[in-house]
Amino acid sequence: MTMTTSGRDPASFTVILPTYNEVQNIRSMVEELLRLYPGISVLVVDDNSVDGTVEAVQELGRRHPTVRLMVRDPRDRGLTASLMDGIANAGTEHFIVMDADFQHPPAVVGDVIEMLSAGHVLVVGTRNDIKAMKATRRLASWGANFIARSYLFVHRKCRPRDLMSGFFGGDAAVWKNVIQKSWGGFERQGFKILFDLMKFAPPGTRVSEVRYDFGERSGGESKLDSRAILSLLRQCGIPGKVLAALIGPFTRRPARRAPDQEAATTVRP
């Protein structure tokens, strides 16, 4: 049985990588994860990329049996929707969610493995510094985190310090159950599934954290824009939905290219 340096077995973990047009990063990220954690599973959940990401992952899957690809239904796009499907199809005792662009360092996955193996049900990556972000995105991240933590405080829910980091791992059985029970309450077209998981977490849930240095994207461009703030507001109950509806017309929404493939959700080796 292959072990990490900490004595933990990576075979009981699936790293979930949500992708949309990440061909510049996906090969390097998957190969680095497999190098650092032999035996770990990698599930790439693709939201209908048009840049060759799917083909790159298919090629990786032919060489590495622990690499899988899920191509999502183009009628149900969204980062949260992708991660809900990814967690539901993890197939291992634990899962770890991270981005494919190296802003979440693969070396820190070992710290998450260590803490989950010790029995923690949720481990959240907390950024040491977000200076790698542009000033506008830094301000948006701070504001979004403040809104989300305030909502959880009012509703007496556990509040990780960095709800916006997008890097976390959990006990698959616990969080699959949360998603199944609260399916209709998730903002599927949103960007911050961790906020929804905290909203619907079982009473008494405790969160552990690991620190990491937030890096610059290795390649490609960030997909986040004003839609992320609007979707976060919609996650904050009726007042948030009303506010999102009021300010929505004043935000600029970039044109989105429609996928040209047929609707299908598939998991491929």
Q: What is the pLDDT of residues 89-126, one digit of tens each?
A: 999 999 999 999 999 999 999 999 999 999 999 999 99
Sign, CA torsion 139/145/148/154? negative
Question: Which residues sit opposite 171 in a β-bridge?
Answer: 94
CA distance 47 to 73: 8
Q: Give CA 49 to chain center in angstroms.
A: 17
Q: CB-based contacts of 112: which residues, under 8 Å, 6+ apart?
A: 96, 123, 125, 168, 169, 210
CATH number at residue 60: 3.90.550.10
180 is a domain residue: yes
Q: How many domains does the chain contain in total?
A: 1
In this model, does residue 159 exceed pLDDT 70?
yes
179 is a domain residue: yes
- pLDDT tens-digit profile of 45-66? 999 999 999 999 999 999 999 9
Nearest of 85, 113, 80 to residue 208 by alpha carbon: 113
24 is a domain residue: yes
pLDDT bin (cut points 50, 70, 90) of residue 251 is: low
246 is a domain residue: no
Q: Give the sheet arrangement for strand 67-71, strand by strand.
A: 208-212, 122-127, 168-171, 94-97, 13-19, 41-46, 67-71, 266-268
User: What is the crossing angle of helices 237-247 and 226-234, to 10°?
Assistant: 150
In this model, does residue 162 exceed pLDDT 60?
yes
124 is a domain residue: yes
Predicted TM-score (pTM) of this structure: 0.81
Across the range 188-195, mean pLDDT stands at: 88
Nearest of 40, 45, 32 to residue 12 by alpha carbon: 40
256 is a domain residue: no
Domain with 172, as residue range(s), is 10-134+160-220
139 is a domain residue: no
Element (H, E) at 44: strand 41-46
